[in-house]
């Protein structure tokens, strides 16, 4: 599960297509965000596709992985060019995947606090 989940996550960021990643979700999989403290249904989330609309040449570098007893911690850097401004885009995020025999049950996303500022040019 670990390798297929990490590979599918990486492909989703690189391509904007989450279908391989979502195929690994257990029924009822939820995602929590540190930025708004909201927990929502993971399937159908459009964040990666939206990122590709706003940022040209999105690419991901996984800079750290730590296996946990029931999942994986993944620290990553997303890079590209903001379409609206032409400015370089670089955010440092952390994702914790939790799973059981049914698949990925929970995704905790710790998003770089400069994300919105970088996308809009507005101080956050």
What are the boundaries of each domain within the chain?
Answer: 2-120
pTM summary value: 0.91
Please give the pLDDT value at position 123. Answer: 58
What average pLDDT does range 14-38 have in this prediction?
A: 95
Q: Are 50 and 16 in contact (CB under 8 A)?
A: no
Q: How far is CA 72 from CA 30, 39, 67, 122, in A?
A: 15, 19, 5, 33
pLDDT of 124 strictly over 60: no
Q: Both tokens of residue 46?
A: 């459009």
Which percentage of the chain shows pLDDT scores above 70?
97
Mean of per-residue pLDDT scores for the chain: 94
State the pLDDT at residue 68: 94
The arrangement of secondary structure in 2-120, i.e. its CATH architecture, is Roll (3.10)
For the chain, state the CA radius of gyration: 14
Is the pLDDT confidence value at 54 over 70? yes
Token code pair at residue 42? 């993971």
Confidence label for 72 from pLDDT (cuts 50, 70 and 90): very high
3 confidence band (pLDDT: 50, 70, 90): confident
């Amino acid at each position: 599960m670990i390798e297929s989940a990490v590979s599918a996550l990486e492909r989703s960021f690189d391509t904007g297509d989450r279908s391989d990643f979502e195929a690994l979700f257990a029924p009822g999989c939820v995602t929590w965000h540190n930025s708004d403290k909201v927990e929502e249904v993971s399937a159908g989330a459009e964040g990666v596709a939206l990122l590709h609309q706003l940022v040209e040449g999105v690419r991901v570098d996984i800079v750290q992985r730590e296996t946990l007893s029931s999942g994986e911690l993944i620290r990553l850097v997303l890079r590209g060019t903001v379409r609206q401004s032409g400015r370089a885009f670089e955010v440092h995020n952390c994702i914790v995947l939790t799973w059981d025999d049914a698949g990925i049950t929970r995704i905790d996303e710790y998003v770089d606090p400069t994300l919105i500022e970088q996308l809009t040019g507005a101080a956050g």
